[in-house]
Structure 1
Amino acid sequence: MKNIYLAGPFFSDEQIARLERVEAALEKNPTVASFYSPFRHQLEDLEFGSKEWAEAVFDEDRRELHNSEVVVGIVDYQDEHVDPGTAWELGYAGMQEKPVIVFKEKDGGINIMISVPGHAFVKDATDLAEYDFDALPKGDWDGPVF
């Protein structure tokens, strides 16, 4: 069983609904020991947007990324632009040589900096609930890249 870091944007109702579908899938997956979702750790005791809050969020998320074994990254493009925080988290995971399971349910392409290092690609939360995080089967991106 693996410890997962869940990277993904949560700035709109659509993004939050997608994130919640992924969280529910991870909760059902028997190969997931636990997962950390930054959405659930907002550090509400600190003033949102303050320097203290920003540093605390960054430090906590980086520590959780470092302690995870696998990263699930929700790739949610607006045209050809991905959330920069999610992109940073995926890059940090890649630098640690952690497998990144890319979740992308919207149609369209993926930037090569995500499509090439991605370990596997999942388009439906149901499939994510059944993905074997112990065996970590590999899969290539089969859509367009830019």
Structure 2
Amino acid sequence: MKNNKIYLASGWFNENQERRVAEAEKVLRGMGFDVFSPREHQNPHLEFGSIEWRQATFDNDIDHVEWCDFVFAIYDEEDAGTMMECGYAHKCGKPVIIYHEGDDIVNLMLTDSLTAYFKTFDEVKAYDFQAMKHKPYTGSVI
């Protein structure tokens, strides 16, 4: 299957974010995708926050954005790292898929660079990731 490798961009710094990213990991893997989720690759052998940890974590995440076929990003509770990963993926020519449960207005830098926009995991499950057709965001932007 082409378009099989996913970089899952998301914060996981509170209960809501943790729930969403864990559900996304489960749904996407259940669909047969090879998912790289940064929260599962935090270099526990290095001291958290140290220069070595920061460099290893950054390099690993960048390497996996380059490795993936597309980025699946969770927009809810906007996370600066997630936004950077989306921008980098777009610059690398990778499709960016946005998952957004909330009703807040989405930043135009994402709406105008995304490949597909979803509100529910049922929509995600119904999407043809092999064709990767444009499914635009149609709401208001900031």
The TM tier, using the shorter chain, reads over 0.9
Alignment partners' CA distance in 2, 1:105 and 1:41: 25
Alignment partners' CA distance in 2, 1:25 and 1:15: 15
TM-score, scaled to structure 1: 0.91
Match for residue 26 of structure 1 among 3, 20, 28? 28
CA RMSD of superposed structures (Å): 1.1
Partner in structure 2 of residue 14 of structure 1: 16
Aligned pairs for 1:65-144 within 5 A: 65-77=65-77, 82-144=78-140
- How many pairs align? 140
Partner in structure 1 of residue 58 of structure 2: 58
Partner in structure 2 of residue 44 of structure 1: 44
Unaligned runs of 5+ in 2: none
Preserved contact between residue 108 and residue 144 of structure 1 (Cα < 8 Å): no
TM-score, scaled to structure 2: 0.94
Alignment partners' CA distance in 1, 2:111 and 2:30: 26
1:29 positional shift: 1.4
1:27 positional shift: 1.3
1:28 positional shift: 1.8
Per mean C-alpha deviation after superposition, the further-off stretch among 125-134 and 15-24 is 125-134
User: Secondary structure of the equivalent of 1:21?
Assistant: helix
Q: Match of 2:136, as an amino acid?
A: D
Moved over 4 A (4+): none
Q: Match of 1:84, as an amino acid?
A: A
Unaligned runs of 5+ in 1: none
Aligned identity (percent) is 36
Alignment partners' CA distance in 2, 1:125 and 1:140: 16
Kindly provide the CA deviation profile for residues 93-125 of structure 1, in whole angstroms up to 9, marking residues without a partner as x.
Answer: 010111000000111210000010111001112
Preserved contact between residue 29 and residue 131 of structure 1 (Cα < 8 Å): no
Alignment partners' CA distance in 2, 1:85 and 1:50: 18
